[in-house]
Amino acid sequence: MKGPGRAGHAPRGPAAAGPGRSGHAPPAPGADWPAAAPDPGRLGDGGPDDAGGTRRWHAELAWLPGSGVQRDVLIEAAGDRFTAVTPGVEQGTVPAGTVTLRGLTLPGLANAHSHAFHRGLRGAVEADQGTFWTWRDQMYRLAAVLNPGSYYALARAVYAEMALAGITCVGEFHYLHHGPGGVPYADPNEMGRVLLRAAADAGLRITLLDTCYLSAGLRRDGTPKPLRDVQLRFGDGDAVRWAERAAGLGADSRGMLSPQARAGAAIHSVRAVPPSQMHEVMGWSHKFGAPVHAHLSEQPAENADSLAAYGRTPAQVLYEAGVLGPRSTVVHATHLLREDIDVLGASQTSCCLCPTTEADLADGIGPARALAAAGCPISLGSDSNAVIDLLAEARWLELTQRLASRRRVHFTADELARAATVAGHACLGWPDAGEITPGALADLVTIGLDSPRLAGAGLAGVDPASADEAVLASVVFAATSSDVRHVVTGGRDVVRDGRHLLVEDVPAELAAAIRSVLASPE
């Protein structure tokens, strides 16, 4: 798998992360969300610093760029950046105040594709047989009842669940822009600001992928079908008005909305954005150096519609419209021709695969290994949030390839770990995150090795010289989000000993938010 190779937009900027402190109750679901200006700030709890402002952790095992799994690693940070990483430091020699991390420590995980509100459907759409399109009907019903207050409560709880799973950065593919009937809120970006605040209050870094969504599908002559019913909440009329609204988010020249949040753009799909409108979206992204994401060929029907309307596959339409390239990411890429794979690889477009959602929705199995071999960096996302577990996404990326080919080992554990970390951060516009190395953003996730799933990790049938390296494979192929012990984002503790420090009772908040939304009248 090739590295992410993103243009070096080192995120910086002035603004604030949000107050979210442990024990602060969220608003009642459906109430007004807390739109007051957030505290200037940092995510989570700073933990012990020395007199010079340096934080230190001693990792029993840590996965480091270029050198794999190393033992007894002293990790130091000042502010939100790593300053030194030193393997082979015995526990008894570390400075006072150093935090011990038992297990395997990885860089923070990046969830490159999320629709937060879909989490409300988990378990509610599994009873009857159906298709992606019947599932979409249920999703639309949920989208119809959300308001800024209920969306904040749900998103904050969902992002807290992500933090508990070791995710430190999320790419939110956001298209629920307006009120019922498509009427804009007083602040046309209110729903986007809800998501920014929810992520900050849950301790996550976020790229808000503001989505252009203009039509309900394609007619055979290439004319768009108009949005209707709940879809009216998604649309801005045309790409010019989308760009005007998105500019109102207030990103700086590098696309930064705060030190912990940046703006990105999304083209929902070839079905939802005509090629003539895509240039405006790309122009906006170039102005801010922003990442651009697009759903691609998730369903055979999308390919059929595109061929009927344009005589081109969706990948060819995006290429001819100037959408593909090193700052662009296509999501799913399930049903591709060989020519599609070649154009994606030649343009160095990233591909975000979401194996648990693609399985849940019966989408199919995409050509992941062929895409990686062609030159596409591979990242991972939880998409519909039917499962929030990036380790499961990494594992199933490999296992689905085995099922499709009846051959083993298409991706190494190291490649899968890169997909869940550095490649995901890069495709979200954070090229200085996802590695434990000096100068990178100080994000850590520690996986405990003391559960029944991981007992004996690195022992069975392994040359002692490579035993530590085998621990990474054990984690990728057997660990779950339940094995996450500690999470640090930007040098601040967000999860400690499996407990979220900003959201006191994540299961209770999830249950309350989902119950409120599902009980809302349509």
pLDDT in tens, 499-511: 999 999 999 999 9
Q: Where are the domains of the chain?
A: 109-427
pLDDT at 48: 65
pLDDT at 47: 67
Alpha-carbon Rg for the chain in angstroms: 22
The answer to whether 468 is a known catalytic residue is no
The answer to whether 113 is a known catalytic residue is no
With a cut of 50, list the residues of the chain below it in pLDDT: 1-31, 36-41
Number of neighbours of residue 15 by Cβ within 10 angstroms: 19
Catalytic residue selected from 210, 360, 383, 432:
383
pLDDT at 395: 97
Q: Are strands 217-218 and 167-174 parallel, antiparallel or unpaired?
A: unpaired
Distance of CA 495 to the CA centre of its chain: 18
Q: What confidence tens digit (pLDDT) does each residue in 441-479 have?
A: 999 999 999 999 999 897 766 676 678 889 999 999 999
Domain 109-427 in CATH 3.40.50.10490? The answer is: no
Residue 495 tokens read as: 């999860």
Burial annotation 298-332 (CB, 10 A radius, 16+ → b, else e): bbeebbebbeebbebbbbbbbbebebbbbbbbbbb
- Write out the DSSP string of 178-239: S-GGGPPPSSTTHHHHHHHHHHHHHT-EEEEEEEE---SEE-TTSPEEPP-GGGGGT--SSH
pLDDT at 24: 38
Residue 415 tokens read as: 């490649």
- Tokens 């590695």 identify what position? 435
Residue 490 tokens read as: 């930007």
Q: What confidence tens digit (pLDDT) does each residue in 72-125 have?
A: 999 999 999 999 999 999 999 999 999 999 999 999 999 999 999 999 888 766
Catalytic residue selected from 332, 335, 410, 425:
332
Strand order in the sheet with 99-107: 81-86, 68-78, 54-64, 99-107, 444-447, 484-489, 492-496, 499-500
- Tokens 């992360």 identify what position? 17
